[in-house]
Amino acid sequence: MSATELQPFLHDARLSLATPSFCAARPDGRIAEGADGFYHGDRRVLSRLEVGAPGVPNAPVATADGADGHTAFVTVLRGLAESTADPATTLERRRELHPGRLVERYTVRNAGARTARLRLEVRAESDFAAMDTVKAGRTGAPAVPEAEPDGLRWSLGPLTAVLTLTPAPDHLDPATGTLRYDLELAPGQSWQAALECTADHRDGDLFPAAHATPWTEPRITGRDHALARWTARSHQDLRGLLLTDPLRPADTFFAAGAPWFLTLFGRDSLWAARMLLPLGTDLAAGTLRTLARRQGRAVDPASEEQPGKILHEVRRAEQHLDTGSHLPPSYYGTADATPLWLVLLHDAWRWGLPADQVEELLPNAEAALDWLERYADADGDGFLEYVDSTCRGLSNQRWKDSSDGIRFRDGRIAEAPIALSEVQAYAHEAAVRTADLLEAFGRPGAAHWRRWARDLRQRFRDRFWTEDADGRYPVVALDRDKRPVDSIASNLGHLLGTGLLDETESALVAGRLTAPGMDSGFGLRTLDAATAGFNPLGYHTGSVWPHDTAVAVHGLARAGLHDAAAPLAAGLVRAAAAFDHRLPELFGGYPRDRYARPVPYPASCRPQAWAAASAVLVLQALLGLEADAPNRRLRVRDRLPAGYESLRIDGLTVAGLPIEVETDHTGAVRMRAPEGFDVTAVR
């Protein structure tokens, strides 16, 4: 890989989001390099958008993020109209992002004592680069614009971009994409203009934007708290990640994250919807139905589609990744999305998804169960495995999907077929929970799937547990030769609360997760720090993923291990505060006692759906909140850990009805449940 083909860094980029569009820019607002651009539907519409006065030094002095894709940038135009050392002339750039439309409003102000004379230039370019091209560190060929009376137009096949300025520019040079104004501002005078760039695809959007939020807004009040600010910012970011299914526009789901994954991802969309269940079931229903419509119907080796299988991701065109992989537009290479779909259906039912909507999806659930039994265990050993049968797809087909994501303690990379520990846990939970659904709705098969889960649990206990100097623990996976992949990794956290482990085993896992090698102080490392090959900036080999830690926190809480869950939850709250409460996809796994703030992973998505939704899952875990709407029952902890006293929590719901929670000055919990619900308080 050459120096010009490195994945662009994003840690200092300013991202504005309005799916299926987003904008990435320099801290001063310029769209100028790397992954910068105005994007729509996985294509870069503008690869350059710079505003300034030639020959006049720019000094950025302020940036402010507003709600829903609004950002403001202020730059001093140094030397203009200055009579003292004080700055006199400023350029304010206010950006608004809407689906398919970028708006910028420019204001030049002269607060000096002299007249400011300047030529203001707007320079714009478009390369229509596909997302996989940008992610690989390449650019598209610049498109040649056509001149419009008040701007420029670019076209490439079905794609069109139109940029207009109001008032019309004084000069326009389509060859260089430059639009100019000649300005003369007296002392105290200001000047304004507005730019608008619209993007259009002849065939429409692959997944259009949503116009309403299908969940309630969570609110934490009573005293200033970092969890409240993380929750509020996450709510805002999640609204920006919302997409709809064009086959049924009422159904909404989350795009995985910006910039790289702004589309439907099976596991990401499922996990994020599951995390938001305490805020309502409409999002979960939309996610389940959107994926059910695309559930596998046939055996297609090229896309890895199989009957009953839930897909991995959907794009408009084939992706050519820098790893050499070629993923078809609809790609099914995932081992975990199918059991996660089943678990979400069950959990949504428990949180109050109406019975008719659950029943509508039961044939899809039965097809998914059939996939677990007929296709997921390719070699018949009783475990679910994955392998890239195409030699062109993803070598690791679970959330740690990088090629080096599964490795032994000595650093060797495991070879597929791989039976992953958490995939067995998801499958066990899916079988047990779906058996409950089948039984509740009078459908056959519940006894069979409970036996299937019981047998899987025993096989897991026999084959996946090993021992080192610190005692027993479950290994990450079995490799192609059925050897235990003996590293200690965050995968352990995904086993908790699934029913795969007993009480003693859960306690052993908790001890591993909270040890210094795993707990960075800002969340769980993906790989223990003592493992050969550990890299604190490794994508899946030492970094911290917020959703990964949140899943472990929730699993610990479900297992009754609240003392182990509390410090991990506190680490995520601290990390969120350090990132202005917008947690990224991942960050560095450096220890907190070495760096007071988490170290960014430079190419991380931000926002990322499951990182943002983790705020709600952590809140649910701290509360120990569990719902059984069909039987009109709720469970909650009687007391929260230190640091969460004197809070009021609104916006939680069950079966569409509000739940109100308060903690007093001692942390004791008071819940006001909907009428007819019984509440059990637990320690």
CATH of the domain at 593: 1.50.10.10
Same structural domain, 15 and 163: yes
Look at residue 669 in the predicted model and tell me its pLDDT.
Answer: 97
Q: Which residues pair with 190 in a beta bridge?
A: 109
* pLDDT tens figures, 359-391: 999 999 999 999 999 999 989 999 999 999 888
441 domain-assigned? yes
Look at residue 490 in the predicted model and tell me its pLDDT.
Answer: 98
Same structural domain, 346 and 444: yes
| pLDDT, mean over the chain | 95
DSSP string for 594-646: T-SSPPBPTT--SSBHHHHHHHHHHHHHHHT-EEEGGGTEEEEESBPPTT--S
Least confident piece of the model among 1-5, 221-225, 466-470, 602-606:
1-5
Compute CA 463 distance to the chain's CA centroid, rounded to the nearest angstrom. 33
Beta-carbon count within 10 A of 302 CB: 13
Look at residue 4 in the predicted model and tell me its pLDDT.
Answer: 52
Same structural domain, 403 and 307: yes
The SS3 assignment for 108 reads strand
206 domain-assigned? no
* pLDDT tens figures, 262-273: 999 999 999 999
CATH number of the domain residue 40 falls in:
2.70.98.40
Cα radius of gyration rounded to whole Å, the chain: 26
Look at residue 185 in the predicted model and tell me its pLDDT.
Answer: 97
3-state secondary structure 289-350: HHHHHCCCCCCECCCCECCCCCCCEECCCCEECCCCCEECCEECCCCCHHHHHHHHHHHHHH
Look at residue 344 in the predicted model and tell me its pLDDT.
Answer: 98
* pLDDT tens figures, 34-84: 999 999 999 999 999 999 999 999 999 999 887 777 899 999 999 999 999
Same structural domain, 514 and 573: yes
8 A C-beta contact, residue 40 and residue 47: no
Q: How far apart are CA 489 and CA 396, in angstroms?
A: 15
Same structural domain, 252 and 164: no
Mean pLDDT value across residues 100-107: 97
Same structural domain, 120 and 157: yes
678 domain-assigned? no
Q: Which residue has 């030492």 as its token pair?
A: 542
Same structural domain, 183 and 235: no
* pLDDT tens figures, 543-572: 999 999 999 999 999 999 999 999 999 999
668 domain-assigned? no
Same structural domain, 118 and 243: no
| Per-residue pLDDT at 321 exceeds 80 | no
Same structural domain, 63 and 26: yes
What percent of the chain is modeled with pLDDT above 90? 92
What residue numbers bound the domain in which 77 lies? 3-201
674 domain-assigned? no
207 domain-assigned? no
670 domain-assigned? no
Question: What's the number of domains the chain is made of?
Answer: 2
Look at residue 2 in the predicted model and tell me its pLDDT.
Answer: 42
8 A C-beta contact, residue 304 and residue 266: no
8 A C-beta contact, residue 576 and residue 615: yes
Look at residue 5 in the predicted model and tell me its pLDDT.
Answer: 75
Q: How far apart are CA 586 and CA 411, in angstroms?
A: 22
Number of H helices, E strands in the chain: 12, 35
Look at residue 1 in the predicted model and tell me its pLDDT.
Answer: 39
Q: How far apart are CA 517 and CA 576, in angstroms?
A: 21
147 domain-assigned? yes
Closest CA to 255 of 294, 293, 286: 286
Same structural domain, 444 and 519: yes
Confidence of residue 323 (pLDDT cuts 50, 70, 90): low
Stronger pLDDT, 211 or 270, i.e. the higher one: 270
CA distances from residue 358 to 79, 254, 346, 364, 630 in whole angstroms, order as listed: 67, 20, 8, 10, 12
Same structural domain, 37 and 162: yes
Among residues 171, 201, 231, the one where a domain terminates is 201
| Per-residue pLDDT at 302 exceeds 70 | yes
Same structural domain, 536 and 394: yes
Closest CA to 19 of 69, 62, 64: 69
Residues 6+ apart with CB under 8 A from 181: 119, 120, 169, 170, 191, 193
Mean pLDDT value across residues 651-655: 98
Mean pLDDT value across residues 482-492: 97
Amino acid identity at 275: M
Strands 419-420, 319-320: parallel, antiparallel or unpaired by DSSP? unpaired
Look at residue 3 in the predicted model and tell me its pLDDT.
Answer: 43
Look at residue 378 in the predicted model and tell me its pLDDT.
Answer: 87
Q: How far apart are CA 93 and CA 88, in angstroms?
A: 16
What sign does the dihedral 392-397-402-404 (CA atoms) show?
A: negative
